[in-house]
Amino acid sequence: MKIIGTGRSHPSLVVTNDMLSQILDTSDEWITTRTGIKERRVISTENLEDLSIDAAKKALADANMDAKDLDYIICANVVNEYICPAMSCIIQGAIGATCPCFDLNGACVGFIYALEIAESFYRSGKYKNILVVCAEEPSRMVNWHDRTASVLFGDGAGAVVLTEGDNIKATKMSASCNWDRLYQKHELQYSPFNKKPNSNLPLVMHGQDVFKFATRAAIKDISHVMKETGYQPDEIKHYLIHQANLRIINNIKEYLNQPDEKFPLNIQKYGNTSSASLPILLDETNKEGRLQRGDLIVMSAFGSGFVSGACILEW
C-alpha cells in the first residue's frame, strides 16, 4: 500500500508543565530534563470521537478521496468513553462511509499494527482504500494526583488514507509479555455473582522498566526491518519514533549514529499520545513540507504489553 493523505486533530486545552506544578509536586525543570515534554493537549470539553472524525476528514481531504470510496476503516484506540460500539463505527457514520470497520488495541503501537493489517488486507486482493485513525485519550486513564504517570501523556488523533501501491517495504511486530509493568484494569459493574474485588485502579507504570524495554525493543525492531530490506541507516531520510520520552529517542539516535534533523520531534508540544503519536508526527512532518516523494521513512513504536513494532516505507 501507500499513504496518500494525512490528518490530525488536537484538543484545544494546552496544559503546561507550570500548570501541572500547581497541582502536583513536580516542576518544569524535572519534566523537561527527564522527558523533553513542555506541554500537552488534554481533552476538556471535546469528545475523542470529534477529534477522530476531524482527523479522518482532514486525511481524506488531503488524499482527495470521498469517504464512500473507502473499503475499510481501522481505528487504533486503547480507551474512550464508549466500551461499545467501536470508535471506528462512530467515525464511519460521521464521515459518510459505508465500508466495514473495526477497532484494535495495540497500545502505543496501534499505528504500526494497523499499517501491517492494511497491507495484508490489500495483498488479499479484497480491499484497496483503507482509512486508519489512531485516537487516544490517556488523560482518561491516569490518576492526575500521580506525578509519575500523569505528566507524560496527552490526548489527540491522527489519521492516514492508504491505497494501492508498493511503498510499505517491511514491517516487524514483536511482543514480550510483561503486563504488570504498565497496565490498567476495567471497573467492574455491579454483579450479584462475581465474588472478586473491584480492581478500579488508574494506570500503573514502572517507568524505568518501560524505559529499558522501549529502548531495546525499538533498536531490535528497527535493525530487523533494515536487515530484511538491506537498507543502511544513512539511506533513511526520516526516523519517526514514538514520542514517549526524548531520552529514549536520543538513545535510538545514538545507536543508529544518525543526525538530529532525521528525527522529527513534537514531544515538547504534545507529550505521549499513545498510538496517535506516530500519525500526528507524520502529518506534521508532511504538512511542514519535509517529506519528498521517494524518501525512505522508518517508524518505530513500543508500549504496554510489552509490544513493539517498526516499519520502513517509501513516501
Q: List, by residue number, the catalytic residues.
A: 108, 242, 272
The one segment of 27-35, 69-77, 123-131, 170-178 that binds ligand ACO by CB under 6 A: 27-35
Site for ligand ACO in 209-248 (CB under 6 A): 210-211, 214, 244-245
In 3D, which of 273, 278, 305 has the Cα closest to residue 48? 273
Restricting to residues 86-115, which ones interact with ligand ACO according to CB under 6 A?
107-108
Stretch binding ligand ACO (CB under 6 A), from 1-9, 23-31, 38-46, 92-100: 23-31
Nearest distance from residue 255's CB to ligand ACO, in Å? 17
Site of grid cell 494525512: 6
By CB under 6 A, is residue 82 in contact with ligand ACO?
A: no
In whole angstroms, what separates CA 262 from the centre of its chain? 19
DSSP for 105-136, written as a single string: --GGGHHHHHHHHHHHHHHTTS---EEEEEEE
Q: Decide if residue 154 touches ligand ACO (CB under 6 A).
A: no
For the record, the C-alpha cell of 283 comes out as 502529518
**How large is the angle between the packed helices 246-256 and 28-35, nearest 10 degrees?**
30
> At 49, phi and psi to the nearest 5?
-65, -35
Q: Are 205 and 180 in contact (CB under 8 A)?
A: no
Does position 297 bind ligand ACO by CB under 6 A? no
184 is a site residue for ligand ACO (CB under 6 A): no
Query: Do residues 17 and 151 touch, judged by C-beta distance below 8 A?
Result: yes
Q: Which of 72/213 has CB closer to ligand ACO?
A: 213
**Nearest approach, Cβ of residue 185 and ligand ACO (Å):** 15
Q: In whole angstroms, give the CA distance from residue 163 to residue 154.
A: 30
Minimum gap (Å) between residue 314 Cβ and ligand ACO? 26
Q: Which stretches of the chain bind ligand ACO, using CB under 6 A?
A: 26, 30-31, 34-35, 107-108, 147-148, 151-152, 182, 205, 207-208, 210-211, 214, 244-245, 272, 274, 303-304
